[in-house]
Amino acid sequence: MLQQLVLIKYGEIILKGLNRPIFEEALVKNIKAALPDSFKGSIHRAQATIYVEPDDPEIIDEIIDRLTKVFGITSLTRAFVLPKDIEAMKKGAAEALAPVLSGIRRFKAEAKRADKKFPLTSPEIAREVGGYLHDCFSNLTVDVVNPEEVVMIEVREQNAYVYCGRVKGAGGMPLGSNSKATLLLSGGIDSPVAGYMTAKRGVRLNAVHFFSYPYTGERARDKVLSLAKILSAYNPRFDVHIVPFTEAQLAIKKNCPEEQLTIIMRRLMMRMAEQVARKTGARALVTGESIGQVASQTVEALAVTDAVAGMPVFRPVIGMDKEEIVTIARQIGTFETSILPYEDCCTIFTPKHPNTKPRLDKIELSERNLDIDKLVEDAVNGIEIVRL
């Protein structure tokens, strides 16, 4: 029986010049962390490819499924190891790919010769192997324009490899290669997508969620933790800081003009989230805001909100419409949870006629009616941390 393994390709990392080994090492580390507990075997990298070779080929499907959520990987495939001899490659390809090739009609063969010492060129390898497969399987015809399957042969330094089809990876940069940020995680559609997109650039996340008991119940809290659990597949070791926000919201409602409630609330959230960020070593805040989607997300409102932040605020979905955000939410598996009908702390205290073009001086004047420092301190001191 032919030896099987997983071939992992990565793209953007290749362009990192002298820093490339750092990113490759980070990716290998994340791959090891994502493998099943039952994994026994070897992992190594060479020529812009990572090789995961399990002792038990039965777990390859599980390995591939897990690694599709590891940022930095562009594609994965189950491959078969062949000797670097053209006759052995032809027979091995027919043996390995028989279950696939016997069930289709149109195919083509391609080859990549990474080992330039191999006597045949890439087109010659493809011609030899493709011709042999065409002779072995009477159902097959060659179709280089619209094949059902592409047989790929790679000749590398140690061995040759053959496979059909590739599984698309998550892409991006290895998690942890670009510092850390704190995500303001609500129960809606947008913020989980914003977190996913930030993590895809190699930024490790933790999260804050603002919880207004009894105005929001345990089901709303559980909904947010379910979203965080889904995100933890892409961002392992995900800490969610549950911030008690009721007293702050009641104070704002009592002491500030109704049309300013949302803006002042958002500014207070930024202050609290920044406290969490600094305590956890995060260098930026991440929100799911999109221009014009709601009253607090006009350009003027965002500018007033950001005026209170002492660190960068990332908004990955800022220029997306709802349909684009929903498409990503479905792709990453958060959409169905996000639309569960449990209110979050924002919607409970939404004014009837919010100010869409707030002025910073007027907002700051209203905030003088609040003991901002105490509200922030009490909320931060009451944080519950849930580790996922």
Tens of pLDDT along 256-277? 999 999 999 999 999 999 999 9
Query: Does residue 78 contact residue 100 with C-beta atoms inside 8 Å?
Result: no
Residue 348 CB-density burial (10 A; 0-12 exposed, 13-18 middle, 19+ buried) = middle
CA 178 to centroid of chain Cα atoms? 14
Query: Does residue 191 contact residue 231 with C-beta atoms inside 8 Å?
Result: no
Q: How far apart are CA 293 and CA 77, in angstroms?
A: 40
pLDDT tens-digit profile of 35-89?
A: 999 999 999 998 889 999 999 999 999 999 999 999 999 999 999 999 999 999 9
Query: Does residue 116 contact residue 44 with C-beta atoms inside 8 Å?
Result: no
DSSP 8-state class, residue 187: S
Q: How far apart are CA 301 and CA 291, in angstroms?
A: 10
CA 50 to centroid of chain Cα atoms? 20
Residue 122 amino acid letter: S
Q: How far apart are CA 366 and CA 118, in angstroms?
A: 76
Residue 325 amino acid letter: I
What is the pLDDT at residue 342? 76
Looking at the DSSP bridge assignments, the partners of residue 303 are none
Looking at the DSSP bridge assignments, the partners of residue 182 are 206, 285
DSSP 8-state class, residue 143: -
What is the pLDDT at residue 376? 98
C-alpha closest to that of 181 among 238, 224, 233, 227: 238
Work out the number of other CB atoms within 10 angstroms of the CB of residue 167.
Answer: 14
C-alpha closest to that of 358 among 309, 295, 313: 295
Q: What is the mean pLDDT of each run of 10 residues along the chain (388 residues)?
A: 95 88 94 95 92 96 97 97 96 97 97 96 98 97 97 95 96 96 96 98 98 90 96 96 96 95 96 98 97 86 96 97 97 96 68 89 97 98 97
